[in-house]
Amino acid sequence: MRLIKERNGKLLEDLRELIYRDPVRITSYKMEKTAERIENADELRPDTWEEFDCGEIWGGDHEYFRFYTEITIPEEYAGCKVIYELKTGRERQWDATNPQFLAYVNGKICQGLDVNHREILLTENAQAGQTYRLLLSAYTGDRLFDLKLDSEIKVLESSVEKLYYDLRVPYDVARMLDTSSDEYICIQNAVTEALNRVDFRVSYS
């Protein structure tokens, strides 16, 4: 049973890697340091802001910034569900001091972002060549001087995501059970049978 558990865990990690595909990194933004609240995103003029290369760092102690970029959907994303993801380098660190963002898409508030909420659904059905105007109203948090702006767009494979969590949740539950219990054996057998039906030889086959 131990070998089966380890095998299932490895296959679940392989499955998790297939949830997203074809990532495209965003390399530059326009940036403005500010102390003003955004009243109307459409009235802002990002073309006057300074260039920000995504290899740079930014930050401060309770400072406010704005970042702007335009995202054009690639041809190969046509008809797909497209995600924008943002990382700052503070992932898996203390939540109370992490940077916070309010994201605007095409001039409208979309959602908040932080180290635990890093993704925005741009579209359920992408159209090649369509452009999205993304504005991030950013707050550094407490004494964070070495933040990154590491972002990308990618395709979300919803069926793979659903399968992964349908299997991952019972697998994690089984790990908390006595390995000799009927419940543990039943769950591991079910997860094993399900994973046996997945063809990992060719991705998305």
Rounded Cα distance, 190 and 104, in Å: 43
| Predicted TM-score of the model (pTM) | 0.90
Task: For the chain, list residues with pLDDT below 50.
Answer: none
Burial (CB < 10 A; 0-12, 13-18, 19+), residue 54, is middle
* pLDDT reported for residue 2: 79
**Which amino acid, 22?**
D
Residue 96's pLDDT is what?
A: 65
Kindly report, residue by residue over 23-52, the tens digit of the pLDDT.
999 999 999 999 988 989 999 999 999 999
CA 179 to chain centre: 34
